[in-house]
Amino acid sequence: GAAELGPYRHYMQKEIFEQPVAIANTLDAVTGISPELFGDGAWRIFKEVDSVLILACGTSYYSGSTAKYWLESIAKIPTSVEIASEYRYRDSVPNPRTLVVTISQSGETADTIAALKHARAQGMNHTLTICNVATSAMVRECALAYITRAGAEIGVASTKAFTTQLVGLFLLTLALAQTRGHLSEADEARHLKDLRHLPVAVQAVLALEPQVIAWSEEFARKENALFLGRGLHYPIALEGALKLKEISYIHAEAYPAGELKHGPLALVTAEMPVVTVAPNDALLEKLKSNMQEVRARGGQLYVFADGDTAIESETGLHVIRMPEHYGVLSPILHVVPLQLLAYHTACARGTDVDKPRNLAKSVTVE
Ligand code: G6P
């Protein structure tokens, strides 16, 4: 009821602002990195596996897509990510040494459970879930689990479940890296310090809300939007586009910025806002030249840059400056203003933010 909402207009807004606490709670029991964070016997399973297969739907699929970058670069373990409804019905090559990881807020998504059972039926018995509901079918079905502590998520568009899934997936990356001899004690200490600082860092990003509201008034008048990202921020661009279409009903799609010239550049006009996730990482210079391609065609760029980058607002280029670059955990910060942008754009359009048309919070039938 209204009392629970406190100062917020919708559950989605409340849940966006709960992220610092949700992340802190998800990390609460973590005193160090070890496979046992995922359950008894995890060490034996982690020793055995030679690859990771992530299965999920919707927003959970995008947290998995982000984790692929971490798993390959930090744990150096080959990783594939599949949409559960596709995997369950295709012929694939089973590998009994694969760690099958399902990701689910509800733990009840029919396609994700069916994909898990499909993997098991093919002899893949090393199963782990990152899930927000400890009593769910998914947790019962998997050998290992990490329970995110986002708390109840009511808004149909997932927010705090996503960022806490990323935290769980980063812990999984570190635990696998450790088992495989790729995590020194110094690395472990550094990553843990960065994880523990996340609630404060997310809080600083939430303070950008007034700037995002100013942009949302422009977005509310558009019918299309393009989201660009590169590397581990490409799935963040996908998640930003999903949020916008789910709740504001604006057609949005995301591209890895390097693919612009292979199609979407043809869509760019002054009427097409182009949201760019632009962290100060190794790909920034490449991204800047992609941005130039958009500007040269009269497109309007809306850039989320890090505080330590020299991108300045000018004609056709709007910049919101994030806190300084947060290294490999940067996706957890960069998704937050995209959630806020979708939320405020939807509010400006007057849609039913917490219950968007045609969508359900949990899809328990096929
Ligand atoms: C529905 C929800 C999404 C969610 C997806 C997967 O589509 O509207 O917010 O990401 O299901 O749900 P799960 O509970 O498995 O994460």
pLDDT tier for residue 366 given thresholds of 50, 70 and 90 = confident
Expressed in angstroms and rounded, the spacing between residue 148 Cα and the centre of ligand 1 is 15
Distance (Å, whole) CA 37 – CA 27: 11
* pLDDT confidence of residue 3: 67
Query: Among candidates 335, 358, 361, which has minimal Cα distance to 19?
Result: 335
Expressed in angstroms and rounded, the spacing between residue 156 Cα and the centre of ligand 1 is 8
Written as one letter, the residue type at 66 is: T
Best residue among 82, 85, 104, 106 to mutate for probing ligand 1's pocket (most ligand atoms within 8 Å of CB) is 106
Q: How many percent of the chain have pLDDT more than 90?
A: 92
Best residue among 59, 133, 355 to mutate for probing ligand 1's pocket (most ligand atoms within 8 Å of CB) is 59
Best residue among 158, 239, 354, 366 to mutate for probing ligand 1's pocket (most ligand atoms within 8 Å of CB) is 158
Expressed in angstroms and rounded, the spacing between residue 60 Cα and the centre of ligand 1 is 7
CA-nearest residue, atom 8 of ligand 1: 361
Expressed in angstroms and rounded, the spacing between residue 292 Cα and the centre of ligand 1 is 35
CA dihedral for 34, 39, 44, 49, sign (positive or negative):
negative
Best residue among 105, 130, 162, 357 to mutate for probing ligand 1's pocket (most ligand atoms within 8 Å of CB) is 105
pLDDT tier for residue 365 given thresholds of 50, 70 and 90 = confident
* Tally of CB atoms within 10 A around 308: 12
Q: Is the CB of 58 under 6 A from ligand 1?
A: yes
pLDDT digits (tens, 9 = 90+) for 179-229: 999 999 999 999 999 999 999 999 999 999 999 999 999 999 999 999 999
pLDDT digits (tens, 9 = 90+) for 18-50: 999 999 999 999 999 999 999 999 999 999 999
Ligand 1 atom at minimal distance to the Cα of residue 158: 9
Q: Is the CB of 71 under 6 A from ligand 1?
A: no
Distance (Å, whole) CA 261 – CA 357: 34
* pTM given for the model: 0.97
Expressed in angstroms and rounded, the spacing between residue 306 Cα and the centre of ligand 1 is 29
Expressed in angstroms and rounded, the spacing between residue 365 Cα and the centre of ligand 1 is 12
Q: Average pLDDT over the chain, rounded to whole?
A: 96
Tokens 């509010």, residue located: 347
CB 175 within 8 A of CB 34: yes
Q: Is the CB of 104 under 6 A from ligand 1?
A: yes
* pLDDT confidence of residue 133: 98
CA distance to 269, 289, 315, 330, per residue, from 296 (Å): 10, 11, 11, 29
Expressed in angstroms and rounded, the spacing between residue 324 Cα and the centre of ligand 1 is 31
User: Per 3-state DSSP, what percentage of the chain is helix, strand, and coil (rounded to 5)?
Assistant: 50, 15, 35
Mean pLDDT of 159-170: 98
* pLDDT confidence of residue 239: 98
Query: Following DSSP, what letter does each residue of 276-316 receive, concatenated?
Result: EEE-SSTTHHHHHHHHHHHHTTTPEEEEEEETTS----BTT
CA-nearest residue, atom 15 of ligand 1: 104
CB 343 within 8 A of CB 211: no
pLDDT tier for residue 315 given thresholds of 50, 70 and 90 = confident
Mean pLDDT of 327-348: 98
Ligand 1 atom at minimal distance to the Cα of residue 58: 10
Q: Is the CB of 109 under 6 A from ligand 1?
A: yes
Distance (Å, whole) CA 198 – CA 204: 10
Q: Are strands 251-256 and 224-229 parallel, antiparallel or unpaired?
A: parallel
CB 210 within 8 A of CB 232: no
CB 110 within 8 A of CB 366: yes
CA distance to 59, 114, 129, 204, per residue, from 145 (Å): 19, 17, 5, 31
pLDDT digits (tens, 9 = 90+) for 266-299: 999 999 999 999 999 999 999 899 898 999 899 9
Q: Identify the active-site residue in 222, 288, 355, 361.
A: 361
Neighbouring-strand partners of residue 224 = 251
Query: Among candidates 183, 251, 241, 245, which has minimal Cα distance to 46?
Result: 183
| Token couple for 104 | 């689910």
pLDDT tier for residue 354 given thresholds of 50, 70 and 90 = very high
Does ipTM exceed 0.90?
yes
Q: Does the pLDDT at position 8 exceed 60?
A: yes
Higher per-residue confidence, 121 vs 324? 121
361 is catalytic: yes
